[in-house]
Structure 1
């Protein structure tokens, strides 16, 4: 009787255990479903486990619904992944000694893959021989650079000007009329650098050929017009005075007997250098700002290496005449009213020869030079507008008010 009772109770318990197992499975499936939908959809193609277990398993292999897989096939695939990864790591270790894989973030942009000791980020205009030892190419390395933007009609004037510059100067001529070999009658021309592009201004040339990294070997850069009389000018003496008075941006004084636009650039007798002047009433809101101070004209400026690096970046690609630039040079040195000045004892004569004006094109029957002058005025307005807009945006980003008329922050 007891055996029969035990058998009956066992028969009854089996359906209950089966039901309990089914319910547990159902609850697990439902719980797993809600857990799954609560996370973002994963698009990974590789599933990484700790390296001590399985470095990688290709899920694309697993996700193929049309293929049946077994535990054995899964582990075989995982093992092949281990082999592939080990081979890849071995290849990477070999590449550590491969110079093509060098990556140095501190290198200049574009040169990150080069070993730092091979990088030559700066250059110069030194002429090199085609023979012999490279170390013996240069008997002297010029410390200064002088550029003239020229046409052949001014060759006699340029010849006289170049002779005022010693062997310490590299001579660079920008030819706006396309004529270069015609200058070979001068011995110095055979050692000069000649760059030719028709009907272009010196600021167009400067932006494209005087990058700060190209002229980095020169302490001072002269960017001069072609119509300057230099009878009373000596370049070496000029450099001495610039160094003595700490001028980062300068120009020679201009003969006061010629018509002048600005009082600041007029030569003063008995002075080596001056850095300020008095202008017409109302012209200077601040005695430390242009045109009463921190001001030179663009016909014969001289820049230190450091100042030129800033000025070059301020040059606009499309505004080639440079009008308005003279009022903006002060932004490149600090304090500008002390580091911008005019050298009086080494002075020049501005001959006012409108050579480049003849390179213009007649429009509506007007003389070519009138079209050039109109373009100059337009560029002045555009440059001033761009500078004002850029400064306003900059100060807004800083969260402060822009400077007022006196140049002081509000």
Structure 2
């Protein structure tokens, strides 16, 4: 019997018997069946061996009836620790003495329980997952609220948002623009000259709009930091405009009626060619007698409807975005760039069908005065305006390079997967 062999046989024989390919439950059965013969055995072993034998029997009896009574703790002391359970510990200790040489190769078809280790993962959800879902508010707006009264009686956020980068020197034109948007619009002014309090003194509406100030920054720098998609969720459309636009022939609500009717996700008002600066791109010029247009193809400067800027194009000076389109455009704005030159050439990426969902509204049009306010914000001792212009071109070329590299990475991954 196995127990007698362990006690009475030679060490060599014991070693041989232990390496016999018994299953663990068979070995335990042999131990238990032989317990009744213990009193009748003539113990020839030393007291030390008897003690070791008793300890071994107690161990095998204990692990045969595992009960999970210990908490699952992070046990960094042991090399296999990380919320281990009794099954992992037992698996390591139980199998080792009875494992033959062939069992050292992992058996991928084994039905033994696997250990799932809880690790921190980098997901879109942040620390707010610790909160009960009913209290989490992941969206906001730029609507001003009172310090008094019941929150339930506050006026709600407006349907649309106007964002303007402004300097105090252009306050007359900004005042005219704001008056076109007071109804149904929340308004945020991005001050690039640091002057904000003067507006409250001169214009009554100033106390009803949001002011954000950072010296010598462009509207795209502000937009990246203060027009996050979660902030503009309440707004159906977002106007991200320059301050130097003449709007005598523009009305916001009729403009949006045309945008909705033609399914435009990204748009701009047409530019008046009889006044102000001539348009840089002919597609943005207002067409007389037209409500809106989506292409300049077939004209003198554009022969291919599928090439930008012949279609699917608006400029950065006065774009209007749907909520969904802005979410995409916001992610394309580069944090380390301030001028965003070249961004408008890639607006088409943020709609499903650029030739149908990007257009110019002719019935509501603007005059572009082209006041170079920010170009004068450079350091005069280092070139002033020329210095600013040099950075604009550097950013444009760098942005093109990043877009091209990103496109190539996608193309390479696609070819590998196929």
1:20-169 pair list within 5 angstroms: 21=10, 23-28=12-17, 31=19, 71=55, 86=69, 88=71, 108-138=125-155, 140-169=156-185
Q: Size of the alignment, in residue pairs?
A: 330
C-alpha distance in structure 1 between counterparts of 2:263 and 2:307, whole Å? 18
| Other structure's SS at 1:86 match | coil
Q: 1:106 to 1:203 in 2, by over 3 A?
A: closer
C-alpha distance in structure 1 between counterparts of 2:13 and 2:381, whole Å? 94
Corresponding residue for residue 80 of structure 2: none
Q: 1:71 to 1:251 in 2, by over 3 A?
A: same
Corresponding residue for residue 295 of structure 2: 276
Structure 1: gaps of 5 or more residues: 1-17, 36-67, 90-102, 402-410
C-alpha displacement of 1:132: 1.7
Q: 1:23 to 1:210 in 2, by over 3 A?
A: closer
C-alpha displacement of 1:285: 8.0
Corresponding residue for residue 386 of structure 2: 370
Q: TM-score, normalised by structure 2?
A: 0.72
Corresponding residue for residue 252 of structure 1: 269
Q: TM-score, normalised by structure 1?
A: 0.73
C-alpha displacement of 1:214: 0.6
| Residues 323-347 of structure 1: CA deviation (Å, up to 9, x unaligned) | 1111100000011110000010111
Corresponding residue for residue 308 of structure 1: 326
Asked if 1:291 corresponds to 2:280, the answer is no
Q: 1:106 to 1:369 in 2, by over 3 A?
A: closer
Moved more, 300-309 or 125-134: 125-134
C-alpha displacement of 1:28: 3.6
| Other structure's SS at 2:380 match | coil
Matched-pair contact (CA < 8 Å) for 1:324–1:383: yes
C-alpha distance in structure 2 between counterparts of 1:178 and 1:374, whole Å? 24
Q: 1:264 to 1:107 in 2, by over 3 A?
A: closer
Corresponding residue for residue 338 of structure 1: 356
| Residues 352-375 of structure 1: CA deviation (Å, up to 9, x unaligned) | 1101111111355x3x11111111
Matched-pair contact (CA < 8 Å) for 2:247–2:365: yes
Q: 1:113 to 1:284 in 2, by over 3 A?
A: farther
Q: 1:189 to 1:272 in 2, by over 3 A?
A: same
| Other structure's SS at 1:25 match | helix
| Residues 59-92 of structure 1: CA deviation (Å, up to 9, x unaligned) | xxxxxxxxx98639977xx79xx89x53748xxx
C-alpha displacement of 1:22: 5.3
C-alpha distance in structure 2 between counterparts of 1:22 and 1:240, whole Å? 96
| Other structure's SS at 2:145 match | coil
Q: 1:255 to 1:241 in 2, by over 3 A?
A: same
C-alpha displacement of 1:107: 8.6
C-alpha distance in structure 2 between counterparts of 1:286 and 1:174, whole Å? 38
| Residues 166-215 of structure 1: CA deviation (Å, up to 9, x unaligned) | 32000100000011111012111100000000000100000000000111
Corresponding residue for residue 361 of structure 1: 379
Matched-pair contact (CA < 8 Å) for 2:298–2:305: no
Q: 1:241 to 1:323 in 2, by over 3 A?
A: same
| Residues 92-132 of structure 1: CA deviation (Å, up to 9, x unaligned) | xxxxxxxxxxx9x9994332222222221111112121222
| Other structure's SS at 1:171 match | strand
Matched-pair contact (CA < 8 Å) for 1:148–1:173: yes
Corresponding residue for residue 239 of structure 1: 256
Say what the alpha-carbon RMSD is for the aligned residues.
3.2
